[in-house]
């Protein structure tokens, strides 16, 4: 019998391809009767590197070309880092599966051969373009100097090692999946630095009319609940890529705990708060926490 063929789309960066191959391997193990083919696309977000995301259109620039490929039938599914996806889901291109979450933490990366100095105060060029990370670094290290950086993970590490930056703050999961775990100098706990909504989660997107039963084995329910809570929180606050908003959910049995960071653009104040409830009410928990925190800083 001829195998069913599924064409899988990915951004063409080293990290994106490595992450997509992880998902493809899991699909193959669960579905030996399916043939998978990888197709890569360079996205607008990968090509424009001299401006911050909020200046060029936001996170949708990392999925636009793959969305077009899905709608045109050129690819069947696409694998994304969930935190790169817009909060508003296209009903024609729903998220069909959430791969088991990787390490959600942020990490410190020092230039090759240098050790963690213990404090970031006094550093003049810590590389991150994330408003969320900038806000929380300043909370921990008021004397630290921050410097914007764009580019894929390899480009950023090259800039660091050339002396353009004194350190970087990156996602642990990305370094691990790219085989660069040895570059991690320090892990920031989620209590020190609340992760971005969806950080460490890979999402599989598909056309609405596609039979996605082959994805059942790679869809992790607890990761899906966590993703729903985190994205609901950010969406309720209308948080775009330039907003220092964060959300991190954990599931223990039937209970879900969601921690959020909210920044009030008018007062320039921010706070961190949590809510716990039934995991099946993930979306409502995100909305309730958002309303409560927004009220606390209004």
Catalytic residues: 84
* Separation of alpha carbons 268 and 115, rounded Å: 34
**Residue 118 φ/ψ region, left for φ over 0, alpha for ψ in the -120 to 50 degree band, beta for the rest:** left
Distances (CA, A) of 295 to 46, 119, 173, 209: 37, 34, 33, 41
Q: Comparing C-alpha atoms, which of 225, 221, 229 is closest to residue 289?
A: 229
* Separation of alpha carbons 92 and 67, rounded Å: 10
Residue 62 and residue 13 in contact, taking contact as beta carbons nearer than 8 Å: no
* Separation of alpha carbons 164 and 257, rounded Å: 39
Treating both helix axes as pointing N-terminal to C-terminal, what angle do 153-161 and 14-30 enclose, rounded to 10 degrees? 140
């Amino acid at each position: 019998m001829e195998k069913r063929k599924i064409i899988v789309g990915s951004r063409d960066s080293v990290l994106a391809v490595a992450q997509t191959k992880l998902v493809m391997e899991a699909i193959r193990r669960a579905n030996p009767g399916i043939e998978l083919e990888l197709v890569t696309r360079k996205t607008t977000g990968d090509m424009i590197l001299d401006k911050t995301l909020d200046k060029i259109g936001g996170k949708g620039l990392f999925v636009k070309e793959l969305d077009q490929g899905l709608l045109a039938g050129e690819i069947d599914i696409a694998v994304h880092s969930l935190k790169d996806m817009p909060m508003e889901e296209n009903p024609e291109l729903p998220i069909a599966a959430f791969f088991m979450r990787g390490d959600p933490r942020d990490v410190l990366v020092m230039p090759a051969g240098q050790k963690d100095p213990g404090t970031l105060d006094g550093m003049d060029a810590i590389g991150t373009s994330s408003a969320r990370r900038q806000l929380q670094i300043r909370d921990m290290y008021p004397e630290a100097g921050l410097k914007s950086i764009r580019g894929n993970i390899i480009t950023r590490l090259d800039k660091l090692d050339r002396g353009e930056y004194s350190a970087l703050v990156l996602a642990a999961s990305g370094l691990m999946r790219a085989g660069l775990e040895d570059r991690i100098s320090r892990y920031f706990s989620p209590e020190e630095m609340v992760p971005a909504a969806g950080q460490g989660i890979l999402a599989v997107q598909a056309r609405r009319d596609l039979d996605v039963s082959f994805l059942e084995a790679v869809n992790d329910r607890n990761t899906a609940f966590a993703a729903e809570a985190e994205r609901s929180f950010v969406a309720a606050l209308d948080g775009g890529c330039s907003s220092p908003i964060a959300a991190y959910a954990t599931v223990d049995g039937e209970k879900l705990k969601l921690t959020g960071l909210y920044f009030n653009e008018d007062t320039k104040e921010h706070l961190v708060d949590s809510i716990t409830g039934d995991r099946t009410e993930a979306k409502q928990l995100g909305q309730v926490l958002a309303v409560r925190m927004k009220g606390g800083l209004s």
